Structure 1
């Protein structure tokens, strides 16, 4: 990814129709100020212009939640604090989930095994070659996973849509990234709920330069860590197991690797816990705003419309 972004590779939620999205947009925008400059800045992928437009809206008294939590301060955080906040299975939050992977592989192996058994009843040579070919599917899947994991992850992502909690998880997860970034004052240029695409896209030229040069200071690292862990915190507050945190943890590690001075392993663990706690606290204190963004994203709302949803819910 060329821009600073948070990516959780999960497949897309069901799309709403154009007319329903348009009706929602009209209702939410009925009392909102004009957003021409903001939309133009987003279209141009100009992070400085996006911040300037939001700052102007804030000064006018409308975008009250924009950058309303600009100060973050890392501190030592215990697992007990995470549990007290309401995070379920706090000790396992930073452990990547294998639920979707295991379910996918079990289904592939189980299905091919069953079909191979049935095909063995075919007459003549068919009863030998067909089970052999069917059985080789599992080997091919495992080979793809070892040679090109990205392709297998895309398949696992598509398979995960069959889980009944999928749509709520992805909307809750991505809305958390969006809301926390907005509250911390990080400009948002786009989001996606589709497989393999960057989901909440953050571009800040200053941060981008610091990342590429490996000079990310502790203050900026803390802000980015909170945004990165927001999706994990959102899932942890709702579900016993967090499924969509693997890419979040990878993104956080990328930020840590680009920071200076480098922090030790024990400090990295504390940073993760603290970021989850801070993000989770923001989400609990702004529950209505989080729900509003979830609803907007589920309707395929634009970035501006998601911002409107936040401010309307806060009014």
Structure 2
């Protein structure tokens, strides 16, 4: 099999309905929660901030004189500042949460699995890879295709190209769903897919959008599951900061 010669049919020819049962049969865990953004990292970060400042505030309350009043007040205000930053500049708070998330033992492995899936599926369906990163807070895989870029920016994506981009966009989500009970990194992927949908013509209905999302998870998950050795080899190469060319060589060697 030539790895780069996998074709996708236009959306109109893809299954009319992709049920959650089909995704579960594929091996996707908790398929019903795939489109629900995970709050695990956010909740852990905020709980830690509030819990730590609360504990320190109680200890500071034992200080003599006015210090026992002002220091707990200042410490307690940290939680309010964090919430204020989240309201005014969500990006800064998200960066802090991403850095904090490194405390989870599975987080770096999740990133590698997620981004390797984007890379592998992009490669398998013939989309050139420009670069990638597994750095926390900067995780990405960038594709390069001048024709697609023009179609996206002009809002002229047709059904065939939307299919291809949808599968790549949902690949990371699918890879996490096959391995873990909860998917943590789906928010950015869903946002990316919605951006592609908004740039397509003709526009598709809400029901079609939902089915496209599920179908893309199914297709991407099937490719990942059927090419497990390639995916794992790519995860290792990316984790070792291999170049894009070296990553492609790892894929082809594993094949």
Same fold? TM cut 0.5 = yes
Which of structures 1 and 2 has the larger relative contact order (alpha carbons within 8 angstroms, sep 6+)?
A: 1
**Deviation of residue 68 (structure 1)?**
2.4
**Aligned counterpart, 1:135:** 76
- What secondary structure sits across from 1:278 in the alignment? helix
1:161 is paired with a residue whose SS is helix
What do residues 111-155 of structure 1 show as CA deviations (whole Å, max 9, x unaligned)?
000000100000001000000000000000000001100000000
Once residues 312 and 68 of structure 1 are traced to their aligned partners in structure 2, the CA distance between those partners, rounded to angstroms, is: 17
One of 18, 33, 58 as aligned partner of 1:117: 58
- Residue 71 of structure 1 is matched in structure 2 by 8
- Whole-angstrom distance in 2 between the partners of 1:218 and 1:95: 25
- 1:27-46 alignment to 2 at 5 Å? none
Q: CA contact under 8 A between 1:119 and 1:130: conserved in structure 2?
A: yes
> Any stretches of 5+ residues in structure 2 without a counterpart?
none
In 2, are the aligned partners of 1:68 and 1:184 still within 8 Å (CA)?
yes
* 1:98 Cα offset (Å): 0.6
Which residue is 2:132 aligned to? 191
Matches within 5 A, 1:33-182: 64-65=2-3, 67-73=4-10, 74-75=14-15, 76-182=17-123
Moved over 4 A (4+): none
Partner of 1:293: 234
User: 8 Å contact 2:111–2:139 — kept in the other structure?
Assistant: no
Tell me by how many angstroms 1:197 deviates. Answer: 2.9
Q: Is the 8 A contact 2:57 2:71 kept in 1?
A: yes
With normalisation by structure 2, the TM-score equals 0.96
Report how far residue 167 of structure 1 moved: 1.6
**What secondary structure sits across from 2:131 in the alignment?**
strand
Counterpart in the other structure of 1:10: none
Which has the larger share of helix? 2
1: CA distance, partners of 2:204 / 2:75: 50
Q: CA deviation at 1:198?
A: 5.5
CA distance in structure 2 between the aligned counterparts of 1:195 and 1:79, rounded to whole angstroms: 31
Post-superposition CA distance 1:221-240 (Å, at most 9, x none): 01000000000000000000
Asked if the contact 1:283/1:290 (under 8 Å) is kept, the reply is: yes
Count of aligned pairs: 251
Distance 1:158 1:99 in 2: 14
Listed one character per residue, the Cα deviations across residues 206-249 of structure 1 (whole Å, up to 9, x for unaligned) are 11111111111111001000000000000000000000111000
Identify which of 233, 240, 257 aligns with 2:181. Answer: 240
Q: Is the 8 A contact 2:173 2:186 kept in 1?
A: yes
